[in-house]
Amino acid sequence: MQTLAFRYCPACGGALESRNLKAGDPDRLVCTRCGFVFYMDPKVAVGTIIRTPDERLVLVRRAIEPGYGLWVFPGGYIDRGEAVVAAAIREAREESGLEVRIEQLVNIYSYGGSSPIIIVYAATVTGGALCTDEECLEARLFRPDEIPWDALAFRSTREALQDYLRMAQGREAPQERSS
């Protein structure tokens, strides 16, 4: 059953209630006045695993929740109407100060019970200087054997780094991860 975090219809202001509209589908929020169906769409995020010329990877330590103080690669939500690759480049620049060239898709990550879908790219540095923004406490370069595996913020961070390292070693590209 869907949560009633939203109570009123965005179309007419009527009350929303949870209803099953089709067998096998999850319950949907439906307006009791006009019948508008309020679909709870997932958020789409993008991340960029950035490699420097000396084969180190860029990680930033989060200054925001969730995951305050833990490490991630630069990333964030895609704005409505923004191209996915453009968002990856923007987030890399905002969170690390680096200009990047997107090389390839690492994978797409989604998990049951969680709203974000995370699209992760591999990229290489083309310019800029490593720095942080207001969402980051610190930005650092790590050799693959220095990655702080026990201090990563999210499951998707761990899985994407593992997938990236497998790809870098020439192993088969991973399948979409979800559960």
Q: Are residues 49 and 20 in the same domain?
A: no
pLDDT of the residue at 53:
95
Q: What is the CATH number of the domain that holds 1?
A: 2.20.70
- The answer to whether residue 177 sits within a structural domain is no
| Number of domains observed in the structure of the chain | 2
Same domain, residue pair 54 and 139 = yes
Domain extent for 36: 1-40
Average pLDDT score, the chain: 92
92 and 149 belong to one structural domain = yes
Cα dihedral 132, 108, 158, 66 in deg (nearest 10): 60
pLDDT of residue 96 exceeding 70:
yes
Contacts with 1 (C-beta within 8 Å, 6 or more apart), sequence order: 18, 26, 27
pLDDT digit string, tens, across residues 104-160: 999 999 998 888 999 999 999 999 999 989 999 999 999 999 999 999 999 999 999
Residue 176, phi then psi, degrees to nearest 5: -55, 135
Provide mean pLDDT across the span 17-43.
Answer: 91
| Residue 99: closest CA among 64, 68, 134, 74 | 74
Looking at the chain, which runs of residues are DSSP E strands?
16-19, 28-31, 37-38, 44-51, 57-62, 71-72, 75-77, 98-110, 117-128, 136-142, 177-178
Q: How confident is the model at residue 5, as a pLDDT?
A: 81
Identify whether residues 86 and 153 lie together within a single domain. Answer: yes
103 and 24 in a common domain = no
Look up the CATH number of the domain holding residue 150: 3.90.79.10
Residue 174 falls within a domain, yes or no? Answer: no
Is 107 domain-assigned?
yes
Q: Are residues 28 and 57 in the same domain?
A: no
The answer to whether residues 32 and 65 belong to one domain is no
